[in-house]
Chains A and B, each alone.
Chain A
């Protein structure tokens, strides 16, 4: 059975910005399949993260951050590519407050 998160991880070649973008993209697509659902209650441990990613705290953290920003994008119902926005500059205050909550 194909592990899609393992594919996402391998495509990033251990580049943290790429990993962040890919994880964000994967989860935006995944969450978009559930447009009316509050995705904040999804346990990040429930996903089938690849072992090499879980063994590296830095990469795990980047993947979690990508997932959180994807959750934020889903909840804010924005079409803006938040991953790129986030990497380029601080988030606007309203989005930052949504991220905190």
Chain B
């Protein structure tokens, strides 16, 4: 559990005295586990630093997509209504900034924890900056796939397929 989690959650796991004590014991008595722990942390580090793609094996991803899309639905509707004309007109830097600002405003809503969570909010805004107008056209589910693809460094279609396969 601890070594597997080390590869996912990384160093913050050491906040736990339980984990720290186990690691100290491996360090003294069990080189194989200690080495696996180090490799697990290295994997988490490479993922966090976006040096490598994150594995899409979180069994809760289908549920996260369902809840995430549910929270995104009213946001997408409001954004599409607000920028209705701009969806078919030529775009500019100013408009892109307006869309990002509007999205950032939406992400401040504490009733939408998927967007509002401090870690996610920053990622969402970075994601939104990439292609603000294009994202206005997407359904909440597709937007979730695009966002997850951005965060995990995978293609959105691959994300969709993986989430679909995790449902089975």
Residues of A within 8 A of B (CB): 1, 3, 34, 37-46, 48, 57-58, 60-62, 64-65, 68, 71-72, 75, 98-101
Contacts and interface: CB of A to CB of B under 8 A. Distances in A.
Contact of B59 (A37, A44, A65): A37
A41 B15 contact: no
A20 to B, nearest CB: 9
B15 to A, nearest CB: 4
Contact of A100 (B1, B57, B60): B1
A14 to B, nearest CB: 16
Contacts, number: 87
The DSSP consensus for interface residues of chain A is: helix
Interface of B: 1-5, 8-9, 12-13, 15-19, 22, 26, 33, 55, 57-60, 64, 110-113, 117, 119
Question: A34, A41, A60, A101 — which one has the most chain B CB atoms within 10 A of its CB?
Answer: A41
A33 B107 CA distance: 29
Nearest to B13: A64
B130 to A, nearest CB: 22
10 contacts: A1-B113, A41-B8, A41-B55, A41-B59, A42-B60, A57-B15, A60-B16, A71-B1, A98-B1, A101-B2
Nearest to B112: A1
